[in-house]
Amino acid sequence: MLLIKNGRVIDPSSKTDARLDLLIDKGKIAKLAPSISAADALSLDAVGCIVAPGFIDLHCHLREPGGEISETIESGTQAAARGGFTAVCCMPNTQPVNDNASVTRSIMERAASVSPVHVWPIGAASKESKGEQLAEIAAMQQAGAVAVSDDGKPIASARLLRQVMDYCGPLGLPVIDHCEDSSLAAGGVMREGPRSVRLGLKGMPAAAESICTGRDVEVALLSGARLHIAHMSTRGSLEHVRSAKRRGLAVTCEVTPHHFTLIDEDVQYDSHFKMNPPLASREDRDALIEGLADGTVNAIATDHAPHHPASKDVEFDRAPFGILGFETAIALALGELVHTKRISLMRMVELFTTGPAHVLGKNGNSRALAEGSPADITLFSLDREWTYRAADSPSRSRNTPFDGRKFRGGPEATIVAGKVVYRV
């Protein structure tokens, strides 16, 4: 038994914000009350901590199979646990691509033996994510896949997207799309704007994303199935999602911590500022924060994208896209959104818990801190000062622009199925 004492419990599913103790037994929440004593339970003092339902990351890359030099399921999920995540959804752009049940099963089996957190694979939408034929979607779902996506690139055509959505609708699987008009973005390495022109780096216009988001929303209207826009970074995309929601479509979206923290003006000749979608303009970033505050955005997702140091230590235009995300997500959300009073603490917790659960079609109550619920719990502090050191990460990669950054507040402990898998 584990007793979490003296914490401030925040649970968006019941709008609870109260000082409560939590007793965990056999992987489930046994009791939730203002003051619990259990002499035979191991006690975890959560004074000064927020006690929240387990955080879910809808978007990460664990690189296994095929990219083990950059990350493995083991190293990646350890980093996720340190970041306060109790469940992570890994994208299918591995080698081989997770486009069939045997790859999905191997990921599930590997995770079961080495991962401290739940791993929920996302299957490819098309075979090898090539945008030609549908992948073995139902088989992957039976093996454990929770959504489909050709992430890394957009689902190639409106026609294919329609087929995938039509097929996934009855299966209850959301279709996640990386929105990018490839012809408009071709060759780009950062967001097009004054900074790209100054640095002489080829830009991708914001419209390259928004155009594709617009296409996707129209296809969602046609199909009626669930569509989720990955790592949204432009005002234009946000407007498309907003109007889709107004029309009652099942369209959701996520924003990454780096897109609400950094902007294109921050880009240096340093590949740790190179990601796709690229860092947005200040105006687009401000719009994203507005969307996070007003409910248009459903989730904060990390897009944790490890790349081993040698691959990133090259000329900017030759480096791969992507940065680490797990361990800085909570601290960036606190620092950029909560401490600055852009969103409430309750809203922030929602963006990491019931929000992503809703995207996956899971009942929000599945994340509730209630007696009988699975004991997946994230503890974080609001005020503890700490410095992020990439060198200390269990990740096999170090590609982050936040190395050495000082934070106020961050993950304190991560509990998965009643077991403490990480503690500061």
Partner 1 sequence: MSHRFHHLLAIEPLNREQITFLLDQAKPFQEFQRYPLKKLATLRGKTIALAFFENSTRTRISFATAASRLGADTMSLQAESSSLKKGESLIDTVRTLEAMKPDAIVIRHSSSGAAEFISRRVDVPVINAGDGTHEHPTQGLLDALTIRDRRGKLDGCKITIIGDILHSRVARSNIHLLSKFGAQITLCGPAMWLPRELECLAPNIRRVPRLEEALDGAEVVMALRIQQERLHEPSLAADEYILRYQLTPARLRLAHPDAIVLHPGPMIRGLEIDPAVADSLQSCVLEQVTNGLAVRMALLFELVAGSTDPQDHAKDSAHASH
Catalytic residues: 303
- The yes or no reply on residue 207 touching partner 1 (CB under 8 A) is no
Residues 210, 229: contact at Cβ < 8 Å?
A: no
Residue 269: CA count within 13 A, CB half-sphere = 6
**Least distance from C-beta 421 to partner 1, angstroms?**
37
As a whole number of angstroms, the distance between CA 167 and CA 281 comes to 36
Residue 116: CA count within 13 A, CB half-sphere = 22
Residue with tokens 């911590």: 257
Residue whose CB is less far from partner 1, 199 or 417: 199
Restricted to residues 242-301, the positions that interact with partner 1 (CB under 8 A) are 269-270
- Binding part of the chain for partner 1, among 132-140, 312-320, 327-335, 388-396 by CB under 8 A, reads 312-320
**Do you know the residue count of the chain?**
424
Q: Pairing between strand 16-25 and 28-33? A: antiparallel
- Binding part of the chain for partner 1, among 192-200, 209-217, 233-241, 286-294 by CB under 8 A, reads 192-200
Residue whose CB is less far from partner 1, 128 or 317: 317
Near partner 1 by CB under 8 A: residue from 159, 198, 247, 406: 198
- The yes or no reply on residue 321 touching partner 1 (CB under 8 A) is no
Residue whose CB is less far from partner 1, 189 or 292: 189
**Least distance from C-beta 315 to partner 1, angstroms?**
4
Burial of 88 (0-12, 13-18, 19+ CB in 10 A): buried
As a whole number of angstroms, the distance between CA 172 and CA 108 comes to 20
Residue whose CB is less far from partner 1, 317 or 403: 317
- Binding part of the chain for partner 1, among 46-54, 197-205, 288-296, 326-334 by CB under 8 A, reads 197-205
**Least distance from C-beta 316 to partner 1, angstroms?**
5
**Least distance from C-beta 305 to partner 1, angstroms?**
20
Handedness of CA 287, 290, 294, 299 (dihedral sign): positive
- Binding part of the chain for partner 1, among 31-39, 65-73, 309-317, 334-342 by CB under 8 A, reads 309-317
Residue 197: CA count within 13 A, CB half-sphere = 4
Near partner 1 by CB under 8 A: residue from 35, 39, 246, 315: 315
Contacts of 386 (CB under 8 A, 6+ apart): 331, 406, 407, 410
Burial of 361 (0-12, 13-18, 19+ CB in 10 A): middle
- The yes or no reply on residue 193 touching partner 1 (CB under 8 A) is yes
Phi and psi at 177, nearest 5°, equal: -120, 140
Phi and psi at 144, nearest 5°, equal: 130, 0
Phi and psi at 66, nearest 5°, equal: 105, -30
Residue whose CB is less far from partner 1, 59 or 274: 274
Residue whose CB is less far from partner 1, 218 or 317: 317
**Least distance from C-beta 129 to partner 1, angstroms?**
24
**Least distance from C-beta 308 to partner 1, angstroms?**
12
**Least distance from C-beta 269 to partner 1, angstroms?**
3
> Of 79, 71, 2, 73, which is closest to residue 42 (Cα–Cα)?
2
Residue whose CB is less far from partner 1, 83 or 193: 193
Residue whose CB is less far from partner 1, 18 or 186: 186
Near partner 1 by CB under 8 A: residue from 196, 210, 353, 397: 196
Near partner 1 by CB under 8 A: residue from 114, 156, 199, 370: 199
Near partner 1 by CB under 8 A: residue from 159, 247, 318, 423: 318
- The yes or no reply on residue 316 touching partner 1 (CB under 8 A) is yes
- Binding part of the chain for partner 1, among 41-49, 111-119, 282-290, 316-324 by CB under 8 A, reads 316-324
Size of the site for partner 1 (CB under 8 A): 21
As a whole number of angstroms, the distance between CA 382 and CA 364 comes to 24
Residue 332, Cα to own-chain centre: how many angstroms?
A: 13
- Token representation of residue 70: 């950059």
Residues 339, 293: contact at Cβ < 8 Å?
A: no
DSSP of 120-187: EEEE-SBGGG-SSSB--HHHHHHHT--EEE-TTS--S-HHHHHHHHHHHHHHTPPEEE----HHHHTT
Mask of contacts with partner 1, 162-191, x by CB under 8 A?
------------------------xx----
Residues 90, 61: contact at Cβ < 8 Å?
A: yes
Residues of the shown chain interacting with partner 1 in the complex, contacts defined by CB under 8 A: 186-187, 192-194, 196-202, 269-270, 310, 313-318
